[in-house]
Amino acid sequence: MEKKFKIYVRAIINNNEWSILLLRKKNDQKYWAWNFLIPWWTVEFWEDIEETLYREIKEEVNLEIKSIKLFETRKMIIKNEHWLWIYYIVKVNNIDDLKNMEPDKHVFCDFLNIKNISNFFHKDLLLKYLDKNYNRKFHIENIYSTKLKHTMWKSIEKYVDIKIHHFLKEKEYKNIKVIGQYDRENSVISNYEKNDKLFNWKRPTALKEWDTITIKCFPWDDYVKHYYYLINTYLKLNNIKWIFTSYELPSKKLKENIFNNYDFSDFTNSDYIILWHIDKIDFFENIEYKSINDFKYKVGKIGKNKVVLLWIEFSIWADIWFYLIKTLSKYNIKNIIYVWKVWTMNKKIIPNSFLATWNNSFLNWKNIVWNNLFSNIKWNNIIKWKHYTSKSIILEDKNWLEENINYDFVDPEIWWFAKSANKNKIWFSYLHIISNNLNENKYKEDLSNERKTEIIDKRIKLFNDIKKYLLQIIK
């Protein structure tokens, strides 16, 4: 079969913030019949690209070009044809002279507010242009993963599926927007929340408005983006097309003040705060939980040391930890110990058999070093190697693994803990279960199947070790 290469030039013409010149194809057209499109034309064999643009705009929509600016290129493979689209931002002199000069091809030729059109070809590109040109608050990124691309292989499908709000599985919406707003009163709570544990179970909520669904996350940048990438991946894995997704980041003021309404005065002058996955290492079984909104805690003594066990009910992610540690530092805290999990890039490490710790982490090639209580202590099942902080699990595909193969562990939080601890003069330590191996698929233990009995049994032993090590350190 003969292979063909074609070049098409496309014109982005707008007359106010949201209105873009669109054509609508007639039903009998070969490609994209009855679809809205921005004007586009084939570059003829003998023509310059700009020459095509000037000629066709005059011939097809009766407009004269004032200026052009290259914006973006895209490609598409259709059977044996390779199409290259070249997008220009076009300014015209005579916008009032707009006219459909080819009614045999198009039933519509006019400016439309693209917010009012659910789907049309390359809508994401036009919104990207408007975002850049008018400094819009919403953002669009073509970031997702697949079973072939991701380091979790087929398990990425289950991992994503259990995180997705049930609204997204009920029907196909035309627009999905992810925002940073913690709202459990005026939005719908997901049916898939795992509320049989003390921490990390309150998931993003959702609000339906006609053909649009708004997903509301705890208001922090990395978590909003992470959930946006989860949704993009869910749509891709399930072959759901023509849905427009976007996200809006919370304001700086909202982020800086998010913990101001929490009164942590019971933690004042604590020697140690141990947080997150600690229900299996409860030192104070005879003490009742107390609550501060979404935080549960116990305060007790180990030897002469005041120790706080802290659980957080909502999903907390990556950079938000910086401000939580900053808030806790106001209460004269000496040590923060973080117990959770990391995943490894080292092929030799068997998941759920070892613990990880160390005193440095990298984020975007920036290294941070801090004081870690466990750094100089030798225990048989604790591994101390280089750590990398990743903003989202979705980003951890095979290309990412190849670029970061010299690191040993990864999770979304450690760098942010350490940065805030250093800045606020607190000792920070972590002791994490190594939960899965990104570089070796044979182990079949990952973030999608953590509730299997055999994995839970392996972790019980590790939690017993963590409890023993913590007692040795604190005493």
Q: Which of 333, 297, 323, 327 is nearest to 312 (CA)?
A: 297
Q: What is the mean pLDDT of the chain?
A: 90
Pick 79 or 93 by higher pLDDT. 93
Q: What DSSP line would sit under 183-232, residue for residue?
A: -SSSSBPPTT--TTSSSS-B--EEEEETTEEEEEE-S-HHHHHHHHHHHH
Q: Among 135-149, 261-275, 313-327, whose mean pLDDT is lowest?
A: 135-149
Positive/negative CA dihedral, 375, 338, 460, 308:
positive
Greatest mean pLDDT among 46-50, 174-178, 264-268, 282-286:
264-268
Say what the pLDDT of residue 131 is.
Answer: 65
445 pLDDT higher than 70: yes
Say what the pLDDT of residue 365 is.
Answer: 84
Query: Distance of CA 315 to CAs 210, 278, 354, 367, Å?
Result: 27, 15, 25, 26
Say what the pLDDT of residue 126 is.
Answer: 79
The whole-number average pLDDT for the span 49-73 is 90
The whole-number average pLDDT for the span 395-405 is 95
Greatest mean pLDDT among 64-68, 234-238, 281-285:
234-238
Summarize pLDDT for 294-344 with one digit per residue, the tens. Answer: 999 999 999 999 999 999 999 888 999 999 999 999 999 999 999 999 999
Say what the pLDDT of residue 117 is.
Answer: 72
Say what the pLDDT of residue 312 is.
Answer: 94
4-117 placed in CATH 3.30.420.40: no
The whole-number average pLDDT for the span 39-45 is 87
Say what the pLDDT of residue 420 is.
Answer: 97
β 360-363/387-389 pair status: parallel
Say what the pLDDT of residue 436 is.
Answer: 95
Summarize pLDDT for 352-376 with one digit per residue, the tens. Answer: 999 999 999 999 889 999 999 998 8
Helices (H), 216-275: 221-237, 252-256
173 pLDDT higher than 90: no
Strand pairing partners for 410? 343, 388
Summarize pLDDT for 114-134 with one digit per residue, the tens. Answer: 766 766 677 777 777 776 665
- Domains of the chain by residue range: 4-117, 268-474
- Burial class of residue 57, CB neighbours in 10 A (0-12, 13-18, 19+): buried
pTM (2 d.p.): 0.75
Q: Which of 430, 426, 378 is nearest to 409 (CA)?
A: 430
* Separation of alpha carbons 223 and 416, rounded Å: 13
* CA–centroid distance for 374 within its chain: 31
CATH fold, domain 268-474, is Rossmann fold (3.40.50)
* Separation of alpha carbons 142 and 267, rounded Å: 43
Say what the pLDDT of residue 48 is.
Answer: 87
Say what the pLDDT of residue 325 is.
Answer: 96
* Separation of alpha carbons 410 and 387, rounded Å: 6
Structure tokens at 18: 């949201």
Say what the pLDDT of residue 135 is.
Answer: 54
Query: Distance of CA 316 to CAs 301, 311, 313, Å?
Result: 27, 11, 9
260 pLDDT higher than 90: no
Answer whether 414's CB lies under 8 Å from 421's CB: no
136 pLDDT higher than 90: no
Say what the pLDDT of residue 336 is.
Answer: 98
Q: Which of 308, 397, 303 is nearest to 345 (CA)?
A: 397
Q: Report residue 187's pLDDT band, with 50, 70 and 90 as the boundaries.
A: very high
